[in-house]
Chains A and B, each alone.
With several copies, the nearest count.
Chain A
Amino acid sequence: MTVPGEPAEVIELEIPARAEFVALARLVVSALASSDSNLADERIDDLKLAVSEACTNAIEAHDAAGSEERVLVRCKAGEDALEVCVEDRGHGFDPGQLPNHPPVTDPDRLKFERGLGIPLIRALVDEVEFSPTDHGTSVRLVMRHPGNGTAAS
């Protein structure tokens, strides 16, 4: 997909903030990732899941904020990495203030049906950045090519 030395290719997908469109975001990202010969199948699955989680959060934030606007999924296929930004126009949040789950050995663990998305994202991609924007949140997910520091963060 990319030629060394060339600028990154940018592909954008804009979807209504509705649950049924998350599958479309996954489809586009996995098609792009599959054409990136530097990413193994397992890493493509990881990115797909991370994007799905980020889009789900974006859509839930729009819902909560009553926003009718759309969610933007911007993919950059670069020389060193495949990067996906999910931008919403929801209520924003502070990722540093999320509660910690009780350990899995604690019987109370079962009280938590939610809150698994961001821990999953952090475990799956090489780099993740949550940035507040003027209108909501931008979540940047980076999957580096081998030889560019691929160890999961």
Chain B
Amino acid sequence: MDLGLDVEERDGYAVLSVRGEVDVYTAPRFRERLIELVSEGKHRIIVDLEGVDFLDSTGLGVLVGGLKRLRSHDGDLLLVCTQSRILKVFEITGLTKVFSIHDSVDAAVGGGSGGAPGQ
């Protein structure tokens, strides 16, 4: 099972696009990639979940861990997600209130943390 993890620069943000299924098997690679970015000094990260077919609590854990790590560097982690079945996982766990979730990378870049639906 392949997990796609592509990084692009966009207006001072590192955009990490995730493709495929994020579960207990693939999450470690996702976590490592995030940690790598932070240690390269990328403290403003957008995680684009539009290509994700499946995300479970292990994936949520990676994102929560990433946000914590970035905040400790005064950075930020924004999400891009419009798929209802992925959003649902954030809603059930209350994490829509913790993350700033945007409709597109453009909206995330433009809006920063202020665009969080839950805020």
Q: Mark A66-100, 1 if CB is under 8 A from B, else 0.
A: 00000000000000000000000000000000000
Count class of interface residues, chain A: 20 to 34
Whether B56 contacts A53 by the Cβ 8 Å rule is yes
Q: How far is the CA of A109 from the CA of B56 in the complex (A)?
A: 18
Are the CB atoms of A114 and B61 closer together than 8 Å? Answer: yes
A23 and B92 within 8 A (CB): no
A20 touches B89 (CB 8 A): no
Say yes or no: A22-B23 contact (C-beta < 8 A), given A104-B98, A120-B89, A120-B93: yes
Whether the pair B85, A45 counts as a contact (CB closer than 8 A) is yes
Q: How would residues 113 to 153 of chain A score, 1 for a CB under 8 Å from any chain B CB and 0 otherwise?
A: 11011011001100000000000000000000000000000
Residues of B close to A124: CB separation below 8 A: 92
A108 to chain B, nearest CB (A): 11
Query: Which residues of the other chain, A, contact B61 by a CB distance below 8 angstroms?
Result: 113-114, 116
Of B24, B57, B97, which one neighbours A19 at CB under 8 angstroms? B24
